[in-house]
A = this chain, B = another copy of it.
Amino acid sequence: MEEKIIPDIVVGRLPLYLRALQQMEQEGRHGTSSQELGERLGVSAAQIRKDLSQFGEFGKQGTGYQINYLLTKILQILHLDRDWDIAVVGAGDIGSAVARYRGFADRGFRVAMILDNDPNKIGQQLGGFVIQDSNHAEELIQKAGIKIAMISVPAHEAQEVANRLIKGGVKAILNYAPISLNVPPGVHIQYIDPAVHLQRMTYYLA
């Protein structure tokens, strides 16, 4: 299955299916259908069936999906059948919120390290961690074998931080800094910029 190239847009919908299935499981549900999933997510049942069929055969025509089975499969596909350590660089408001956020643990992620370059913050406690010096990011990341990082530093510092992280072995970056970053092939990047999300919607407002 892994050899087939799956469009990134399809991969991007799997976490949403996963989230909905986990919510159904929490509600004590055992089975569902592409119709029901589609209604919860605002996509068509056909879309869901087509997306899932790219990865295998997970349900039976007419009987729908076993939630637990489908959950397990999607977790495997997304490599979430293990936990991933994350380094957070930038201990400002966003970085601090991330460090305290309890919602990652049951979704495959564990904040393992918090870095900042502010001498007043280095050595301080934050969310159970001692903030470490981001000028040593490369060595710290490498030593810890961390592959995933979040960047929550000011825009003008973000590219340099990304470069250090990538040198240290990071392969996936979630960037909260409001700037586009250049990363080499093989390094994945996702962006969270609330202003960008908002600006995309104002287009539609009169």
Contacts and interface: CB of A to CB of B under 8 A. Distances in A.
Contacts of A202: 78-80, 84, 108, 148, 172
Interface string A58-89: 00000000000000000001111000101000
B16 A196 contact: yes
Copies per complex of this chain: 2
A57 interface: no
Contacts of A204: 11, 171-172, 188
Given A93-B97, A198-B86, A198-B108, A203 B79 contact: yes
A8 B197 CA distance: 12
Nearest to A11: B203
> Which bucket holds chain A's interface residue count?
35 or more
A193 interface: yes
A192 interface: yes
Contacts of A45: none
Contacts of A18: 199
Given A19-B179, A41-B180, A180-B20, A12 B200 contact: yes
